[in-house]
Amino acid sequence: MSPSLSMLCLLLLLLVSPSLALVKRSAIDNEREPERLWPTDRPIFYNFSVNFTCGYNREYINQILQTIQLKTCLRFQNASKKASINTVEGHDDPVLLFVNSTVEYYEATLSETMATVGKHPNAKMHSIFLPNSTCSKQQFRNRVYPIHILHALGFYFTHNREDRDDYVLYYADRTDPLWGFAYEKLTAGESKTYGVPYDYSSMTHFPPG
């Protein structure tokens, strides 16, 4: 996958359907860390943990991935429907695994190293932990789902952009110390904005308060 194709894919992801509000404004640097980008010449396998049972939530995830697929050069393949588990285990690329959890986050771990955004080049399973205990149509539009899927694909929160101080005032002394990490600003070497304007209304931008 060439750097130019990788950048095109990331730029296209910035234009994903507004109806799902999947717009992101800061992403992995395709030139500095190409190994953290997902492949565009073959499908990305995904699956659900055995305790991720809610049909509404599974369908919502399928719709999010289908929207990303329609708007970008990424392709997804549901391993539970279109491939046997043996095929997935024999697949060289990492697999996205949606896991039922009481808290939401994304993680790809291998030995002592961990990725919380983007692909870990040597980890097999890339787990997206999502709340699944409430199985209803109200949960069906949970905004947490698309946010963490995009973290897995390589996108950061808008308010973590390296240029965020040009647009917002952040008062560290008013932040709960336990949540200070969530407001840490990225450096220019850690991410790229790809020329996309700062978006206060992005669903991935923390509200003032």
Kindly list the structural domains of the chain, giving each domain's residue range(s) and its CATH number in brackets, ordered by start: 29-155 (3.40.390.10), 159-192 (no CATH)
pLDDT for res 7: 42
Instruction: Round to whole Å and give the CA distance between 32 and 190.
Output: 8
Nearest to 206 by CA among 168, 172, 162, 174: 168
Output helix, strand, coil percentages for the chain, rounded to the nearest 5.
35, 15, 50
pLDDT class of 167 with cuts at 50, 70, 90 = very high
Instruction: Tell me the whole-structure pTM to 2 decimals.
Output: 0.75
| Alpha carbons 14 and 113: distance in angstroms, whole number | 28
Q: Give 89-103 pLDDT, tens digit per residue.
A: 556 778 899 988 877
Tens digits of residue pLDDT in 33-50? 888 888 888 899 999 988
